[in-house]
Chains A and B, each alone.
Chain A
């Protein structure tokens, strides 16, 4: 990863729970309006934000709404009236918001939301996987995944700047793995308020609900215009990729931490690549390093940017690897493949030269994924390449 040229001095290092770090990022971003409903494992984020508001450390209005459906609805009202808006949720809460998520995207409100990823019921599970956000992949928001607390902090601050860009004006989700990341205590580098203020100017939207310049928001569309509205949304969302990288570069210059839509670890000369998202990435890094030491040509790529899907960056990162093993943390029951595998396969379908692509679903509903699991998966996938595919995808470690 590229190192920044200048390293400013205005930081301090502090150990804290990642949920607390996320709420500090929201505080430093000077969020003005928050509407949230408690759900495990998002609770520590909103609890801490409530205290920050109660103590006057964050000048904001915090509404304790009566459901997540109302949380997202209130966020739309907040953003429409011109306030910098934040919320956080998880799993069933995201599912209850579902209807309104599409509307927030289509109405182009730059709301920032943390999703502490958790399995969807049933059976009820409060533990981590990606089934919540994968069910909401088509909501028309920008979406990124983070692998550790520092990234969770950084991407929360950056999300406001990306989302509020006039050429973007789209809501953004920062996905972080519930419990595995949200409840972990980490040493973090925190910038001071002045630096964040320089990076992120106050939100000044062009169109707000204002009697002095009345506008109608949320008009319905007849068939003659609906497709054009959807096309505009699609083009804007896709083009936002450029702005995302710009903001990440700027943050890289300020902090020395540079981010890319697809990131690589030991991919030099790798014939076999693992692809992960979220916290699985750090576990896979350990496994890949050990396999490299044992002489296996294995590397790792991780998908940070999920929407818009980084087709070009993914193809470039895979390069001429012979085998690509995609690790999903969600199931698409009865579908062609789990969500990430399906998209990766379609990204390579048109390519003249493409690797064998094998998919594994791991870590559902909080099941632990140790580094050994990745070594095992690599061994199994290598064997499958020689014997030919046995299944569309595999559910790793499942009994019965």
Chain B
């Protein structure tokens, strides 16, 4: 596989940044921190979903930096309700669009529905609403901005915080090495819902991210994209390293880029030779306290999980039933 992964595999080999949409939907003037990888991701995702979309957003960093009354950074129709319910709000929007379209109250095709939330709003407090919405098969795309902790409230640990990371509620100390649990596998949870499309992405690979979002929103039914979003403030990393850190996460297999389409795993960016995990951990202050035994453990775990992922990619899964059932029209009896 080539440099631009998914784009390449789909024969978008002529792609270059000058061919990407110039229109901005997440506009300047928002108040994200310097070097925010999440704001970069939002910008690319919004370009990918295009004009005809409605966004429901969870409480969190991206909501707070972008929507202080009476200002907004969002050019899309956008709604924020609460922290843990974004998928439920999106399911309501989807239902309303369906009935309004059926009643002829919508001009043109119904807009796409996109829900967005941070890792806390997705893998912790919002997991139930997300699971419900995916199980019910709503036609929506859920995007998780994963900056691996509750950054908005001051860097507290979430279930998405990686093993060993220092946060304000998982501090290293005499009796602690920092976060003592492994990062929750949200992608596997989404895949277990038998939805048509699940993917990981990172704004350090903008074309990969862009085309995955495009694919997700065009796919009927629920889609889930997990976006690793580098957070210099919470990761204690230099602000000019955000894009680099995202690439290191992929090149060390800490955060592999792949997609699961109708149950079939497919690596979209393959590193020919994995770099040692230390290369990724070292520039981040949140891992500064880790000693060799912990670093070795992390390296072994990352390797094992990556092998497992490669194994899944080799599985010859066929398409499974994620297509809505449509009954045959009844034959008229003569």
Cβ contacts under 8 Å, A76 to chain B: 79, 81, 89, 92
Q: Determine the residue in chain B with the shortest Cβ distance to A77.
A: B92
B76 close to A81 (CB less than 8 A): no
Cβ contacts under 8 Å, A61 to chain B: 95-96, 98-99
- A9 at the A/B interface (Cβ < 8 Å)? no
- A78 at the A/B interface (Cβ < 8 Å)? yes
Q: How far is it, in angstroms, between the C-alpha of A335 and the C-alpha of B13 when the chains are bound?
A: 71
The answer to whether A217 and B80 touch (CB under 8 A), given A70-B128, A74-B95, A83-B99, is: yes
Q: Determine the residue in chain A with the shortest Cβ distance to B93.
A: A77
Cβ contacts under 8 Å, B75 to chain A: 214
Q: How far is it, in angstroms, between the C-alpha of A60 and the C-alpha of B100 when the chains are bound?
A: 9
Partner of A75, one of B82, B92, B97, B102: B92
- B77 at the A/B interface (Cβ < 8 Å)? yes
A73 close to B129 (CB less than 8 A): yes
A219 close to B69 (CB less than 8 A): yes
Partner of B96, one of A77, A217, A229: A77
Closest CB of chain A to B107's CB: distance in Å? 8
Q: How far is it, in angstroms, between the C-alpha of A229 and the C-alpha of B68 when the chains are bound?
A: 13
Q: How far is it, in angstroms, between the C-alpha of A86 and the C-alpha of B87 when the chains are bound?
A: 19
The answer to whether A83 and B89 touch (CB under 8 A), given A35-B95, A218-B79, is: no
A78 close to B80 (CB less than 8 A): no
The answer to whether A69 and B84 touch (CB under 8 A), given A61-B99, A218-B67, A219-B68, is: yes
B131 close to A66 (CB less than 8 A): yes
CB contacts under 8 Å to A, within B61-94, are 63-64, 67-72, 74-82, 84-85, 87-94
Closest CB of chain B to A246's CB: distance in Å? 27
Q: Determine the residue in chain A with the shortest Cβ distance to B86.
A: A73
- A32 at the A/B interface (Cβ < 8 Å)? yes
Q: How far is it, in angstroms, between the C-alpha of A210 and the C-alpha of B87 when the chains are bound?
A: 18
**Contact pattern, B 39-79, Cβ under 8 Å of A = 1, otherwise 0:** 00000000000011110100000011001111110111111
B88 close to A81 (CB less than 8 A): no
Cβ contacts under 8 Å, A217 to chain B: 78-80
Partner of B99, one of A60, A66, A213: A60
- A235 at the A/B interface (Cβ < 8 Å)? no
- A334 at the A/B interface (Cβ < 8 Å)? no
- A65 at the A/B interface (Cβ < 8 Å)? yes
- B154 at the A/B interface (Cβ < 8 Å)? no
- B105 at the A/B interface (Cβ < 8 Å)? yes
B111 close to A211 (CB less than 8 A): yes
B136 close to A69 (CB less than 8 A): no
Cβ contacts under 8 Å, B135 to chain A: 66
B82 close to A81 (CB less than 8 A): no
**Contact pattern, A 4-32, Cβ under 8 Å of B = 1, otherwise 0:** 00000000000000000000000000001
Partner of A82, one of B70, B85, B100, B133: B100
Cβ contacts under 8 Å, B68 to chain A: 219-222
A74 close to B53 (CB less than 8 A): no
- A200 at the A/B interface (Cβ < 8 Å)? no
For the complex of A and B, the 3 pairs showing the least CB-CB separation, nearest first, are: A77-B92, A66-B132, A74-B92
18 A-B pairs with CB atoms under 8 Å apart are: A32-B96, A33-B96, A35-B88, A61-B95, A69-B84, A74-B88, A74-B91, A75-B92, A77-B92, A79-B96, A80-B93, A83-B96, A100-B81, A209-B78, A214-B74, A214-B76, A216-B79, A222-B68
Known: A83-B100, A211-B111, A212-B107. 11 other contacts (CB 8 A): A32-B96, A63-B91, A66-B131, A70-B88, A73-B81, A77-B91, A81-B92, A210-B54, A214-B77, A216-B74, A217-B79
User: Contact residues of A with B, CB < 8 Å?
Assistant: 32-33, 35, 59-61, 63-67, 69-71, 73-83, 85, 99-100, 103, 107, 208-222, 225, 229
